[in-house]
Structure 1
Amino acid sequence: MNQRIVHCLLIVVLLCSACAAKRKAVIGSNSNPGISSREAHNNNEQLERERNAAIQNFVPYTAAAYIQRFKAIAVQEMNLYGIPASITLAQGMFESGFGNGSLAKVANNHFGIKCTSDWQGRSYYKNDDRENDCFRVYDNPEDSFRDHSNFLKRKRYAALFELDKNDYESWAYGLKAAGYATNPKYPELLISTIQKYHLEQYDRPEGEVQKIKREDRVLTEINSTINKPAQDTLSKSTPDQRLYAVRQGDTLYSISRRFGITVDELKTLNHLIADTVKIGQLLTVVK
């Protein structure tokens, strides 16, 4: 009983902290600065009516349930872009209050990403930096995680992608230095969350060749967007990938060694559950 009380108090603290922490970069600019309170209210009511079944059936997350639910997408994004899975999970937990905040429940928005002028999706309005701030709405939480990765692929965060993808401490301080958050204790909050829930276990090191290839790919993507009109960050396209056809004698281990990745990374990239592959099966590997 005491543990349950402590856990409930921790959720309340995280929800309050998420509201209090001003997330300078993620906040962005409101794409509907002139919307009235009535319009915002009507918009939110419509969205809540459409998602009433999901909202009514929502089961509050515990820390363990949140990690179990979203560790796979966090690892997948890490393998694609080099953002430590521990950082992604810690930010999601902190920003959304373990996924129990209204923004996460109604809008599937786990990172507090706001609407920008290029956002073409649906919106949800909440008072934040200003009245009726516009937040992005996603079809599912996984889209929020993907949009979080795409959001970080911009010039101000480019240096972070040169860090090792298991160096969560440097990532935490780097996010603050790049202007992601104005809360002076933001790095410590992320690091303490990672260590408390042992999120570093989901991070993976990478070989020198693999790191160089990953850096080149991501930095090329970032550089290609500089001085170009902004595009919707919820991109439906995937990064440059390489397909490999399984040959006789191949195993997941031999394929992973060939392309400089781990078996776990290979399975995550291809949504594999079993450890077996078939001749002719196409597998995606990170270039």
Structure 2
Amino acid sequence: MTPDQFIATYAPAAQRACAGTGLLASINLAQAILESGWGASGLTRSANNFFGIKAGKSWRGPVVTLPTREQRPDGTLYTVQAAFRKYPTPEAAFQDRVALFRLLPRYHRLFRVDTVAAEAQLLKDCGYATDLQYPAKLVSIVKKYNLTRFDS
């Protein structure tokens, strides 16, 4: 799938998931691009999981267990086996991302910012990703593909 095809296919799901929440569809879509490798990751292909969302203790749905790379605050990379949420459809993954942010108090600050840079930085600060360059990567994707056109 080309970048244009990916964006055309999944931008509507990102917009629907973020509508009326204060979250930016551009960041939602950029995360899907980054986390799924444009939909090519094994996690996305096997579980419709575009966001690398792990199956925590409260998850009651199906899971898939795969290796994942994490990064310590000092920059050291390591690999762990993790259980990830499995979704019936891509749309369900986009919706669940927003539901997770509403559910977990550590993400509530995301609903109070309104810029791409601020939302990207807060995703890192709230513990969504361990990659030290995560905010910069998201902002770069948003800019390169003009994803702000999907923000309402």
Scaled by the length of structure 1, the TM-score of the pair is 0.47
Q: Which residue of 142, 161, 184 maps to 2:111?
A: 161
Q: Structure 2: give runs of 5+ residues left out of the alignment.
A: 69-78
Work out the CA distance in 2 between the residues paired with 1:93 and 1:83.
17
1:171 maps to what in 2? Answer: 119
Q: Which residue of 139, 148, 159 maps to 2:97?
A: 148
Alignment of 1:16-27 (within 5 A): none
1:137 maps to what in 2? Answer: 86
Higher strand fraction (1 or 2): 2
Superimposed CA distance per residue, residues 145-186 of structure 1 (whole angstroms, 9 cap, x where no aligned partner)? 11111111121121221122xx11110111112222221211
Q: Give 4+ residue runs of structure 1 displaced > 3 Å after superposition.
A: none
Alignment of 1:218-229 (within 5 A): none
Residue 96 of structure 1 aligns with an amino acid whose one-letter code is S
Displacement after TM superposition at 1:80 (Å): 3.0
Alignment of 1:191-206 (within 5 A): 191-204=139-152
Residue 39 of structure 2 aligns with an amino acid whose one-letter code is G
2:55 maps to what in 1? Answer: 115
Secondary structure of 1:127's counterpart equals: strand
Displacement after TM superposition at 1:104 (Å): 0.7
Secondary structure of 1:182's counterpart equals: coil
Superimposed CA distance per residue, residues 53-95 of structure 1 (whole angstroms, 9 cap, x where no aligned partner)? xxxxxxxx21111110111111112213121010000000000
Q: Structure 1: give runs of 5+ residues left out of the alignment.
A: 1-60, 205-287
Displacement after TM superposition at 1:130 (Å): 2.0
Alignment of 1:6-45 (within 5 A): none
Q: Which residue of 82, 86, 89 maps to 2:26?
A: 86
Alignment of 1:255-274 (within 5 A): none
Scaled by the length of structure 2, the TM-score of the pair is 0.87
Which structure has more relative contact order (CA 8 Å, sep 6+)? It is 2
Displacement after TM superposition at 1:138 (Å): 0.8
Which structure has the larger Rg?
1
Secondary structure of 1:124's counterpart equals: strand
1:104 maps to what in 2? Answer: 44
Work out the CA distance in 2 between the residues paired with 1:180 and 1:142.
20
2:72 maps to what in 1? Answer: none
Work out the CA distance in 2 between the residues paired with 1:105 and 1:77.
20
Work out the CA distance in 2 between the residues paired with 1:102 and 1:76.
25
Work out the CA distance in 2 between the residues paired with 1:172 and 1:127.
25
Q: Matched residues, percent identical?
A: 36
Secondary structure of 2:80's counterpart equals: coil
Work out the CA distance in 1 between the residues paired with 2:17 and 2:133.
25
2:76 maps to what in 1? Answer: none
Residue 137 of structure 1 aligns with an amino acid whose one-letter code is K
Superimposed CA distance per residue, residues 95-144 of structure 1 (whole angstroms, 9 cap, x where no aligned partner)? 0000111111111110011111222211111122423x211111111101
Work out the CA distance in 2 between the residues paired with 1:173 and 1:118.
26
